[in-house]
Amino acid sequence: MKLKDKIVLITGSSRGIGAEIAQSFAKEGAIVVVNYLKNKEAAEKVVKACKDFGGDAWSIQADVTCESSVREMVDEIILEVGKIDVLVNNAFKSYVFSPENRKLAWELSWEDYQSQIDGSLRSTHNVCQAVFRNMKMKNQGSIINIVSDLVARPTIPYHEYTTAKAALVGYSRNLAAELGQFGIRVNCVAPGLVYPTDASRDTKEEVKEMLIAQTPLKRIASPKDIAGPVLFLASDWSRFMTGQTLYVDGGLVMS
């Protein structure tokens, strides 16, 4: 995929989907920056796995909802390696997909929405703002934002989570329209339910079976299923694609 020696920053990559994406880039020879919030030990395990797969990697702590923390992280990366070729915005506010425990529409406060918007949209905005200058100077870059197929098909109404991801889709399309002139592509990957992850640990078997029954490919996604499309959007194989959302949910959403 011609990703060898590409500098790839992946936010929230100490576990789950982010960790799998990091390791997949490493297998292609990329140099991976594993961003984490609190769990340094988990991040270092991902770094070790990346190196075992033949890539290079290091971990860096930053709260992506904090602008100054993000700028310090990006400045450190630029000082170390001079550029960022690929940015994967995977970090989001913790959320548990449990139909029984979700808040119903009339139970939600604006603070519930704001928390998710900060976790998805504000964090992505902070990191994008920090990397724009370097990508514009290099006249190239690929930004991939992880959203959700719930935006197109709210199979279960996780209101605050889905609203934040919908905002992120709109943000990404506007960036794509603005940044194309600088050779910067912006796309989204929209998974369905992914198992196993921390977010899906409380999803009951009957819910998974319901989703499987509605899914043409008749299974739930694994983290590895999400990594492939992310690498595709980061590579030259998708060099004429921007402003797109790839639904990675076994055909549950067809656009």
Which domains, ranges and CATH numbers included, belong to the chain?
A: 7-248 (3.40.50.720)
160 and 92 Cβ atoms separated by less than 8 Å: no
Q: What is the pLDDT of residues 165-191, one digit of tens each?
A: 999 999 999 999 999 999 999 999 999
Residues annotated as catalytic (active site), given as ranges: 161
What mean pLDDT is reported for the chain? 95
Say how far apart CA 234 and CA 236 lie, in whole Å: 7
CA distance 79 to 131: 13
In tens, the pLDDT along 145-163 reads 999 999 999 999 999 999 9
Quick check: 13 pLDDT over 70? yes
Element (H, E) at 185: strand 184-191
Give the pair of three-digit tokens for residue 238: 């998708």
